[in-house]
Structure 1
Amino acid sequence: MLFALASGFALSNAYRTVAAITAPPLAQDMGLSPQQLGTFAGSFHFMFGAMQLFMGIGIDLWGVRRTILAAAPLTIIGALLSAMAPGYGALVAGQALIGVGCAPAFLAATVFIARYFPVQKFAAVSGIAMAIGVMGMLFTGTPLAWLIEKSGWRMGFWVLAGMSLLAWLWVWRSVHEERLASNPGTAGGPRESVREALMRFGSLLRMPHTWGIVTLSFFCYAAFITLRGLWLGPMLISRHGFSLVQSGNVALALSLTAMAGPMVFGRFDPGPVRRRRWLVRCAFVFAALFAAVAFEFGAWGDVLAALAIGFFSGFAILQYADVRSSYPAAITGRAMALFTMAMFLGVAAMQWFTGWVATHAQAWGLEPFGPVMGSIAALLVLAGIAYRLLPAPPRQG
């Protein structure tokens, strides 16, 4: 069941990083500006993040299977619309539909792990699931670059639509929560109304420690996806003269390091008290790596820094473990949903913001990627400081 759910997360990762390889041919084909590319990439993440509240409630009330099967067909429709898009507006609409369809993907897997695996194994098992999910990024590296060069960017979306249909069928065939008697989300039917569920969701925001968790989640994953999912290809092509396939090779290597990161960080989770200190330090290391890309230490410097960013992105699994240990089991779905919502609204905001930075940098006669990566580094430093100063959960105080 977990592998079937992780396949949906893998497709979600493919969609959220597709812009890194499709951006150059899209910009040429449709005459898009950097800010329009940021909006195109961010529309998926905005809808993905905005729908987390409703997906979390759906998972808590009706279970993982029903929520996935109801939402995922929109992914297929959005991919088909993107493949046939006659213009920029249809392309953005397709990305928005894909974002809604993918919204429950990783949330469903993490809630499934939280419900059916021991709490002490949550970080390790989640790390494995996240590593499986990151395999979706492998497709949006060399294979997608090769496919685009041979058949055009639209073919990439046709292939993703077919893969999404197969993932939906796998969940339909394999995931049956009634086999697991301890499932709190399906046994005995819904335990509360949607209105009551919304009220309990709002209660999360009244907990002081929620704001530190949300602040860090808003920026850290956004930094990684903004590089891998939007600027990596354009930066390597424009700054260092890489071909599309060469950029795809780097994206593939980065994705492989991103697969290793969650498993390593999940294996060495230091526990609730020390975990908070680890998270602050990881945020600062992350910022330093983006600063290195901003200052441009040559092609190999950028490639090595990008690979290190991919590996360190795995510390997000410690953030999931932080959420898991900071809230009661009864609201695990909603707590994970709030965390995931903050992550992906952060991605949408950062991709739009960095598009704005790049457009204005070009207007001022500057190479855009230095200001883009420098602004990401500054935001990560501020996020780490905020997480350190905002209240911790009572058990850690």
Structure 2
Amino acid sequence: MNPLPLPAHAVAERPAAPPHRPLWAILFALTTAFALSQAYRTVATLMAAPLQADFHLDAQALGLFAGAFHFAFGAMQLFMGIGIDLHGVRRTVLTAFPVAIAGSALSALATSYPMLVAGQVLIGIGCAPAFLVCTVFIARHLPANRFAAISGLTLGLGGIGMLLTGTPLAWLIEATSWRMGFWVLGAVAVLAWSLIYVLVHEPALPAAMAQARGTQVRETLGQAIGKFGALFLLPHTLGIVLLAAVCYASFISLRGLWLGPILMQRHGFSLVQAGNVALAMSLASLIGPPLFGRFDPGPKHRRRWIVGFTLVLAILFAAFAMGHSTLVDVGGPIVIGLLSGYTVLQYADVRSAYPPEITGRAMAVFTMAMFLGVAGMQWLTGIVASVALARGIEPFTAVLASIAALLVAGALAFTVLPGPAHRATA
């Protein structure tokens, strides 16, 4: 066990878990919120066509709509990390997640583009602690040497949320409307919140550790923010953050925004047919994290693996950009979905790159970089598509090529910039 330290008042205020409640049941309940966040962040690919028709959106506006969730999600990571450290996992997620439910209702009722974007922002804020609470819970209460494997399994289970935004959501939208999609996701989110309320009670720390926390002075908000700032003064943080900003973003930008338009406009797929491909890509992405977590090479070789798979992903996006065959455009995303699972190695790298007492905050900074990167990439690729279209260039070729270039740049930064001087054994 390698639990992270908490301020004394957080230990005192945290509800004790019933003795019969296993850690796996608590982690499963937390994972349901993460699954909903996965569903919300990938709705744009199937809603793109009907939203463009209803609100007369161009590619740039569509990119901003898709990126609004991720910008809000990423921007709130710092505050969610502070909330977890000061008030615990349970209080943080139960307080935040209803905001996502409200955002889903606002999106369903949207009568204008700004209202639609505001709904996405609320959903992003509410979902902000969804995966962070899972990683912090794993780091605090489960064996350190199984962090990558358990995180990979959690990522895989959470990815089930993306299955909702494949064929099922495509069928629902085609049979009813995109508004019904938001209503259904909101209803499922209510069920997830209820499950967390019933099942999640954080286990008490060991007596010796709780006694040690009792000697600590209550941390102020300013001090907590200052400790986040101190992370950026460490020389190896920049490389981690720059790579984090492009890897997951490449997968989500394709799966969550561009896959549907590519298949429908390049090859004349129907919405349900595009949803079937999205479903297959999502299923592949469920396999990847547990697989990479199972074969994690450890801190000695992990960073080489991360760079290698980032470059492989860049090559696949470049091939996807240049090839216009149906086989490539259907098979390529499925392979990318499978390989996206190596993100779990980045989480393990972050855990080993920082001392235990700041692991939770380091995870928050890493997650913030990931999702601000998604927002930035979706916004940027929307601009790239608009510029390419204006110049008579096939927009999807430009979009996919730009993603490939960003992946290469991220791998280069991760390689050239300083790495951590000390590695933990995780």
Per the TM superposition, whether the score is higher than 0.5 is yes
Once the two structures are superposed, residues 41-94 of structure 1 have per-residue CA deviations (whole angstroms, 9 ceiling, x without a partner) of 000000000000000011111110000011111001000000000110100000
Tell whether 2:154 aligns with 1:129. yes
Residue 176 of structure 1 aligns with which residue?
A: 201
- SS of residue matched to 1:161: helix
Q: 1:24 to 1:333 in 2, by over 3 A?
A: same
CA distance in 1, matches of 2:118, 2:128: 15
- Counterpart residue number, 1:26: 51
Q: CA deviation at 1:196?
A: 1.1
Residue 39 of structure 1 aligns with an amino acid whose one-letter code is: L
Counterpart check, 1:247 vs 2:299: no
Match of 2:115 among 64, 79, 90: 90
The one-letter code sitting in structure 2 at the alignment partner of 1:199 is G
Structure 2 partner of 1:46: 71
Q: Which runs of 4+ in 1 moved over 2 A?
A: 178-191
Map 1:364-379 onto structure 2 (within 5 A). 364-379=391-406
Q: Distance in 2 between matches of 1:22 and 1:183?
A: 49
- 1:62 touches 1:190 (CA, 8 Å); kept in 2? no
| Within-5 A mapping of 1:1-397 | 1-179=26-204, 181=206, 191-395=218-422
> Structure 1 residues 334, 183: closer, same or farther in 2, change over 3 A?
farther
Change (3 A) 1:183 1:174: farther
Task: Please tell me the root mean square deviation across aligned C-alpha atoms, in Å.
Answer: 1.7
- Kept in 1, the 8 Å contact 2:352–2:423? The answer is no
Distance 2:217 2:282 in 1: 39
Gaps of 5+ in 1: none
Which structure dedicates a bigger proportion of its chain to helix?
1
The 2-side partners of 1:155 and 1:330 are apart by 44
Partners of 1:61 and 1:190 within 8 A in 2? no
CA distance in 1, matches of 2:45, 2:59: 12
Structure 1 residue 165: Cα displacement = 0.7
In structure 2, runs of 5+ residues without a counterpart are 1-25
- Cα distance, 1:179 vs. partner? 4.6
- CA–CA distance in structure 2, aligned partners of residues 148 and 89 of structure 1: 21
- TM-score, normalising length from structure 2? 0.91
The alignment's TM-score, normalised by the length of structure 1, stands at 0.97
Shift of 1:190: 7.9
Query: 8 Å contact 1:75–1:102 — kept in the other structure?
Result: yes
Assess if the C-alpha contact under 8 Å between 1:50 and 1:341 holds in 2.
Answer: yes
**Residue pair 2:255, 2:278 contacting (<8 A) in 1 also:** yes
Alignment partners' CA distance in 1, 2:108 and 2:315: 38
Report the alpha carbon displacement of residue 191 of structure 1 after superposing the two structures with TM.
3.9
Q: CA deviation at 1:273?
A: 1.9
Q: What amino acid is the match of 1:203? A: A
